[in-house]
């Protein structure tokens, strides 16, 4: 199946490692030109080289802290200078710190809101005019299975990401007739630095060894293994394609069967 991504321009946020980097790689392999961004310029530049090696389109790296409006403005100026348009936006960022309700305070909630809600708002606000002009757009948000099944000791993530899904579902109905789709992916346990750090903190908080915490997480997954970052990339590539034009407003878990609810 030709996904029709050749010649499309994609911005993949937070793509120096983990899920973001894998998404950038799959989109580039499918022929899209890809703009990658993250805070750490050196790690980002290495990731860009890796993605460009197997990619068929142009691959550009722009250092950017997604919690800073000035950085996001500069990022979009670069997208405009290099390509003059944007067809695909993948909203992604790091995760907020672990903790329970009593571990948090107002400042921490504001930071989590900046990182996992406003970053996506800022990029989407800037991407939409290009997509409206093209009569084609794909906005794909990377959140967490937490939006369907809250995760213990991750209250900031559970709280803020649910708000993002509410905004994006509403947006999907507002822009649907313009050829723009808005969908959200909820990764389950995907083997990245973030997952290792979450499980190590879970071990420390519950008096388990690292191995026990990993085993316990694995026992929740019917597939019997952690996901690979590129397995999120393949789903993003389909949702970004012309073939997925009739998939809009979906909140889709990619989790090896982890989530226990029906929907």
Our CB check for ligand NAD shows the closer of 16 and 124 to be 16
What is the CB neighbour count within 10 angstroms for residue 32? Answer: 29
Spatial neighbors of 180 by CB under 8 A, at least 6 apart, are 128, 131, 132, 136, 137, 138, 139
Site map for ligand NAD, 34-63, x if CB under 6 A? ----xxx-----------------------
Residue pair 91/121 in contact (Cβ under 8 Å)? The answer is: no
Q: Does 192 bind ligand NAD (CB under 6 A)?
A: yes
DSSP E strand boundaries for the chain: 9-12, 33-38, 59-63, 88-91, 137-142, 180-187, 251-254
Q: Using CB under 6 A, pick the residue from 33, 92, 172, 183 that binds ligand NAD.
A: 92
| Segment interacting with ligand NAD, rule: CB under 6 A, options 75-83, 126-134, 140-148, 162-170 | 140-148
Q: Does 155 bind ligand NAD (CB under 6 A)?
A: no
Q: Does 117 bind ligand NAD (CB under 6 A)?
A: no
Our CB check for ligand NAD shows the closer of 144 and 184 to be 144
Q: Using CB under 6 A, pick the residue from 9, 10, 12, 17 that binds ligand NAD.
A: 17
Q: Does 156 bind ligand NAD (CB under 6 A)?
A: no
Our CB check for ligand NAD shows the closer of 115 and 180 to be 115
Give the length of the chain. Answer: 263
Q: How far is the CB of 239 from ligand NAD (least distance, A)?
A: 16
- CB nearest ligand NAD: which residue? 18
Q: Does 144 bind ligand NAD (CB under 6 A)?
A: yes
Nearest Cα neighbor of 22 from 236, 188, 229, 239 is: 229
Residues at the interface with ligand NAD (CB under 6 A) = 14-20, 38-40, 64-67, 92-95, 115, 142, 144-145, 187, 189-190, 192-195
């Amino acid at each position: 199946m030709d996904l029709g991504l050749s010649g499309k321009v994609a911005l993949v946020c937070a793509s120096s490692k983990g899920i973001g980097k894998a998404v950038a790689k799959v989109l580039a392999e499918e022929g899209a030109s890809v703009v990658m961004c993250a805070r750490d310029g050196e790690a980002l530049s290495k990731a860009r080289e890796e993605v460009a090696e197997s990619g068929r389109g142009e691959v550009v790296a722009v250092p950017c802290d997604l919690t800073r409006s000035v950085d996001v403005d500069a990022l979009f100026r670069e997208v405009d200078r290099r390509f003059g348009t944007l067809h695909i936006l993948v909203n992604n960022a790091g995760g907020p710190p672990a903790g329970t309700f009593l571990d948090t305070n107002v400042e921490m909630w504001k930071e989590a809101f900046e990182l996992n809600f406003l970053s996506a708002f800022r990029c989407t606000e800037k991407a939409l005019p290009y997509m409206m002009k093209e009569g084609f757009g794909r906005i794909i948000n990377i959140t967490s299975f937490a939006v369907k099944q809250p995760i213990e000791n991750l209250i900031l993530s559970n709280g803020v990401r649910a708000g993002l899904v509410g905004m994006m579902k509403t947006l999907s109905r507002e822009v649907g007739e313009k050829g723009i789709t808005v969908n959200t992916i909820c990764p389950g346990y995907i083997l990245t630095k973030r997952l290792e750090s979450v499980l190590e903190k879970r071990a420390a908080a519950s008096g388990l060894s690292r191995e026990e915490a990993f085993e316990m997480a694995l026992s929740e997954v019917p597939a019997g293994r952690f996901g690979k970052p590129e397995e999120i990339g393949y789903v993003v590539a389909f949702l970004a394609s012309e073939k997925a034009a009739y998939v809009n407003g979906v909140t889709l878990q990619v989790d090896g069967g982890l989530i226990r609810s029906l929907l």
